[in-house]
Amino acid sequence: MNWLIVSDSSCDIRALEDLSPGVSFALVPFKITIGQREYTDLPGLDVEQMLQAMTEYSGTSTSACPSPGEWASLFEQADNVIALTISSNLSGSYAAAMAAQHLVLEAFPEKNIFVLDTLSDAGALASAAHLANRLIGQGESFDGVCRALREFNDAGHILFALSSFENLVKNGRVSRLVGFVAGHLHMRVLGRRTKDGRIDFFYKTRGERRVLAKILEEMADTGFDGSRPVVISHCLNPGAAQTLRQQITERWSAAQVRVIPCGGLCSFYAQQQGIILTY
């Protein structure tokens, strides 16, 4: 039986390396509208040009999640499907994937389709995809893979270190007060996910060095011991991402840390200089 690991494009990765035999990987893209132009969040998207277009456009830019039809067209292609979505409290992607699951299973009841609401985004989806691929390669059953992904996801954490909140405010993801603090007082603000997959901004400071130090403190406070994979996504900020990677590995020598650039959707919300860390 063949397997498909499919994620919406909030995962930031554009491919899954070292695929196990019988496994394929696919992306279902978000779409970002800036003025009259639509950007599709797939490999080849020029994120820097998209952000420049956002800066130059005076109106409100928007994002749209994948449709049920886009999910369904991929679900039909495999016997066993593992689907990963951004938090259902940040997007309609999970609802669309669940609608697609219902449609496809009506037509093909013999298929196995599992949809995981990660209550997160970025590296959380990437790490889940890597875990699923590894477990499948080890011969784990469909139910075993699903169970392991739920357990892995429940124990995960995500931190957002942002300096601009314009799109988060305009699209109703955070309050205008948080946006004012960041934008007008030139603060760096650190957020984390709540249990239901929303964003809680809990720390603000001036300067990137201080916010990176707070990230390390938060990782320690939440029990990080170096055993879980760490993914650092950055929006045009490779220097800070590499500095953070070095600081993590110096403190937890066993930690496996990956640094990747944000894709289109995460860049749209993190904006320039943003850092998203999952562990």
Single out the residue of 232, 240, 233, 237 nearest to residue 273, CA to CA: 237
Q: Tell me if 269 is assigned to some domain.
A: yes
Q: Which of 154, 179, 212 is the last residue of a domain?
A: 154
Element (H, E) at 203: strand 199-205
Element (H, E) at 126: helix 123-137
Does 206 lie in the same domain as 70?
Answer: no
CB–CB of 46/160 below 8 Å? no
Does 167 lie in the same domain as 131?
Answer: no
Q: How far apart are the first and last CA of the chain?
A: 31
pLDDT for the residue 236: 96
Strand order in the sheet with 80-85: 23-28, 3-8, 80-85, 112-117
Does 123 lie in the same domain as 7?
Answer: yes
Q: Tell me if 80 is assigned to some domain.
A: yes
Single out the residue of 62, 80, 75 nearest to residue 28, CA to CA: 75
Task: Dig out the tokens for 87 from the structure.
Answer: 């938090």
Q: Tell me if 55 is assigned to some domain.
A: no
Q: Tell me if 174 is assigned to some domain.
A: yes
Does 263 lie in the same domain as 176?
Answer: yes
Please report, for the domain that includes residue 228, its CATH number.
3.30.1180.10
Please report, for the domain that includes residue 140, its CATH number.
3.40.50.10440
CB–CB of 67/96 below 8 Å? yes
Does 207 lie in the same domain as 98?
Answer: no
Does 252 lie in the same domain as 169?
Answer: yes
Q: Tell me if 192 is assigned to some domain.
A: yes
Domain holding 194, by residue range, is 158-278
User: pTM of the full predicted structure?
Assistant: 0.93
Q: How far apart are the C-alpha atoms of 213 and 97, rounded to whole Å?
A: 37
Distances (CA, A) of 123 to 2, 47, 258: 25, 18, 9
Does 212 lie in the same domain as 103?
Answer: no
Q: Tell me if 49 is assigned to some domain.
A: no
- Count of domains in the chain? 2
Q: Tell me if 203 is assigned to some domain.
A: yes
Does 239 lie in the same domain as 164?
Answer: yes
DSSP state of 29: -
Does 186 lie in the same domain as 145?
Answer: no
Q: How far apart are the C-alpha atoms of 182 and 53, rounded to whole Å?
A: 21
Does 175 lie in the same domain as 116?
Answer: no
Q: How far apart are the C-alpha atoms of 221 and 19, rounded to whole Å?
A: 34
Does 25 lie in the same domain as 130?
Answer: yes
pLDDT for the residue 261: 98
Q: Which of 154, 177, 206 is the last residue of a domain?
A: 154
Q: Which of 154, 177, 198 is the last residue of a domain?
A: 154
| Angle subtended by helix axes 142-154 and 123-137, to nearest 10 | 150
pLDDT for the residue 187: 77
pLDDT for the residue 53: 96
pLDDT for the residue 258: 98
Please give the backbone phi and psi of residue 210, each rounded to the nearest 5 degrees, phi first.
Answer: -70, -40
CB–CB of 17/37 below 8 Å? no
Does 203 lie in the same domain as 71?
Answer: no
Q: How far apart are the C-alpha atoms of 66 and 17, rounded to whole Å?
A: 24
pLDDT for the residue 201: 87
Q: Which amino acid is at 138?
A: Q
Per the document, the length of the chain is 279
Mean pLDDT by 10 residues, the chain (279 residues): 97 97 98 97 97 92 97 98 98 98 98 98 98 98 98 97 74 60 69 92 90 97 97 97 98 98 96 95
pLDDT for the residue 175: 62
Q: Which amino acid is at 124?
A: A
Query: What number of other Cβ atoms are within 10 A of residue 131's Cβ?
Result: 18
CB–CB of 279/219 below 8 Å? yes
Task: Dig out the tokens for 260 from the structure.
Answer: 């990747």
Q: Tell me if 59 is assigned to some domain.
A: no
pLDDT for the residue 176: 62
pLDDT for the residue 182: 56
